[in-house]
Amino acid sequence: MQHTAWMTINMLARLDRVVGSISVVCPSGVALARRISPLIGGAATLSEGIASGAAKIDTVPVVLAAEPADVRLVVGPGDAVDGGIRVYGEGWCGGVARGTAIPKTDPSTLPFGPYIAAAIAVAEVFRAARIDPVLYPPADSAFYSLWSHQAAHTYIAGGPVILPAVTLDETLAGVGAVGCICAHAIWAADCVDGEVLLVDGDMDGIDITNLNRYLLFAHEHIGLPKASTARALLAGSDINWSVHDGPLEEAPGLHRRILCAVDVNEARMAVQTRWPESLLMASTYELRAEVVRCDPRHGGPCARCHNDPEAITPDEELRRQFRAASPKQQQEIAGRHNANLSEVIAWAKTGECGTSGERVRDALRAGQPAPPAFAVPFVSLAAGTMLAAEVVKEHLGAAVPLSPDRQHATLQFWAPAASKGASCYGRDPHCPLCRPESEAVAVWRERVSRQPDRGVA
């Protein structure tokens, strides 16, 4: 319940202009459980931890007091909540119920079900503030199991509530909204050790604009590199975290499996061209979270499939634009980026590589408008948790991870109880990267074949 409570508050406290304030009623004197969050790890009690973590987030006001509210969330199993929503996650499953009780199930310290419960609960708050209830009525009850990838209106049992020893051998590509939660969930799970390499090539690091969904980080981390900062925060577990603050193409010592949590298609292609023995990929799109198992043996997709690289302006066009600018504009552009004007002019005329020319080229390309989209924390939480749970299931040798012929699972928040769960997701027949007859795919097939075939979920 502490995992559920904290992650719910963690998200609500970041939803500026959706949530106005948060009132928390928490029993006093409850000891803080192990590894609930690095943001509250130094506290002795749960209430102290909530106050400390909310202060670090420092966005939506959080008070430890009973005050009137528009939405009432009650965490834990029990009777129906009059006029409110009961929120419960345990083991591998989590969800919410309005007007009905949620019976208690076998206790577990796993964070997976609790995180899914928190995600669905905060989605209902978001729905109350931003979504037309006539078009998308609120859920009376909704549960999702990460063990079976089933959705239902009642709690779904299944999966070990206590893990045996799990030893990881992973590279996590991308430590943004989805990746930092994947790392957080792995860190929070008992009986998990091994090696994880954190890789993130975003040179801007942690930005104020993405703190609303980077649930591992707080204001004090703005401007810091994502991978190194995550490693520092997640120290103190049995996992050996290594780090590379740079592109995946330059990362040393990649592990057997890559967990892909990058958010642009160009980076997904870079992940795939490493051709790992095993590849799991999670992503979000508006109000949908999904996880994909990339496996070529049964016609499954690669990470590049259905993900055409983003269009970028070619160097030749950028050079033409700079040449077309007036001398004064050229001087301003070079000065704005601390570049030598003569070197930039030489680059614009000849395309010859040089520090100043490349600097201006990259700045001009970065200034291109991005396609419109929106991102909310509960979808990132679900996707990152799906990815973490799936890799643990792979290590357990479970019969119900994503399989070679059911490669894809989706949790959508428009109507979470109607999520379709695991399904077939074939390769893109137009993908140039994983053509069945290519030498690269032959190598990949050999590597992946070292992995045992799993049963269908």
Which tens digit of pLDDT belongs to each residue from 73-84? 999 999 999 999
Is residue 306 classed as helix, strand or coil in its secondary structure? Answer: coil
Confidence of residue 296 (pLDDT cuts 50, 70, 90): confident
Which tens digit of pLDDT belongs to each residue from 386-438? 999 999 999 998 877 788 778 999 999 999 999 887 888 888 998 988 888 88
Give the amino acid at 262.
V
Which tens digit of pLDDT belongs to each residue from 224-268? 999 999 999 999 889 999 999 999 999 987 788 999 999 888 889
Tokens of 380: 């990132």
Confidence of residue 375 (pLDDT cuts 50, 70, 90): confident
11 CB neighbour count, 10 Å cutoff? 27
Please state the pTM of the whole predicted model: 0.85
pLDDT for position 353: 57
Cα–Cα dist 102/87, whole Å: 8
pLDDT for position 370: 42
Which residue has better confidence, 189 or 365?
189
Cα–Cα dist 390/259, whole Å: 10
259 CB neighbour count, 10 Å cutoff? 32
Which tens digit of pLDDT belongs to each residue from 162-199? 999 999 999 999 999 999 999 999 999 999 999 999 99
Strands (E), 82-163: 85-90, 93-98, 141-145, 150-152
pLDDT for position 359: 66
Confidence of residue 114 (pLDDT cuts 50, 70, 90): very high
pLDDT for position 38: 96
Confidence of residue 366 (pLDDT cuts 50, 70, 90): low
Partnered with residue 90 across adjacent β-strands are 93
Tokens of 410: 């989706």
Confidence of residue 452 (pLDDT cuts 50, 70, 90): low
Mind spelling out the 3-state secondary structure of 319-364? HHHHHHCCHHHHHHHHHHCCCCHHHHHHHHHHCCCCHHHHHHHHHH
Cα–Cα dist 119/154, whole Å: 16
Check whether 160 has a pLDDT greater than 60.
Answer: yes
Which residue has better confidence, 360 or 22?
22
pLDDT for position 161: 94
Tokens of 442: 């032959």
pLDDT for position 372: 41
Tokens of 196: 């994880």
Cα–Cα dist 270/262, whole Å: 10
The average pLDDT across 311-330 equals 77
Report which secondary-structure segment, H or E, holds 409. Answer: strand 408-412
Tokens of 133: 């209830």
| Residues near 346 by beta carbon (within 8 Å), at least 6 away in sequence | 352, 354, 357
The average pLDDT across 16-24 equals 94
Token match 């190598």: residue? Answer: 443
pLDDT for position 456: 36
Confidence of residue 367 (pLDDT cuts 50, 70, 90): low
Check whether 95 has a pLDDT greater than 70.
Answer: yes
Cα–Cα dist 264/303, whole Å: 11
Tokens of 152: 């239902």
pLDDT for position 219: 94
Contact 197, 231 (CB under 8 A): no
Give the amino acid at 44.
A
Tokens of 254: 């990649």
Which residue has better confidence, 66 or 315?
66
**Nearest C-alpha neighbor of 54 from the set 92, 9, 3, 117:** 9
Which tens digit of pLDDT belongs to each residue from 344-363? 888 788 776 555 676 677 66
